[in-house]
Amino acid sequence: MVVIDRFGAPLVTLRDQFAGLGALEIASGKVWTAVNFTRNTSDLIKAIKDGDLSPGLATQPKVTMLAGGLLIEAGGAMLGAVGVAGAPGGDKDEACAKAGLAAVQDKLDF
């Protein structure tokens, strides 16, 4: 798991001992993508599939088009993002990120 602020500066990086070595790199890519496009990565994937965004975006450096990158928002402002990787599937990564955000959302709202 990687958490960055709205400018892309890292705040927290955690890796479970059983997560693969590439998990942090993938989580970093997801979180960078979410912040720079100001959208959850699964929403970006859907926008490409629906033809609302160019598929060429997925080929750009540092862009990681995998589910599991979520914006952190409170008070109508984007505070940053969280990226999760390591589960067998982006849908599971996203569910983990959502659960983590839900657990702290009351502390973020102001």
The tokens of 99 are what?
């659960």
Band of pLDDT at residue 21, cut at 50, 70 and 90: confident
User: What is d(CA 19, CA 16) in angstroms, rounded to the nearest whole number?
Assistant: 5
CATH number at residue 10: 3.30.450.150
* Distance from C-alpha of 30 to C-alpha of 40, rounded to nearest angstrom: 9
pLDDT in tens, 32-72: 999 999 999 999 999 999 999 999 999 999 999 999 999 99
pTM, two decimals, is 0.92
As given in the structure block, the two tokens for residue 93 are: 């990564």
pLDDT reported for residue 110: 65
- How many domains does the chain contain in total? 1
Give residue 101's domain range.
2-108
> Quick one: which of 7, 10, 3, 27 has its CA closest to 87?
27
Q: How far apart are CA 98 and CA 76, in angstroms?
A: 18
Q: What are phi and psi of 103, to 5 degrees?
A: -70, -25
**98 — pLDDT class (breaks 50, 70, 90):** very high
109 band by pLDDT with thresholds 50, 70 and 90: confident
Grouping H, G, I as helix, E, B as strand and the rest as coil, residue 104 is: helix
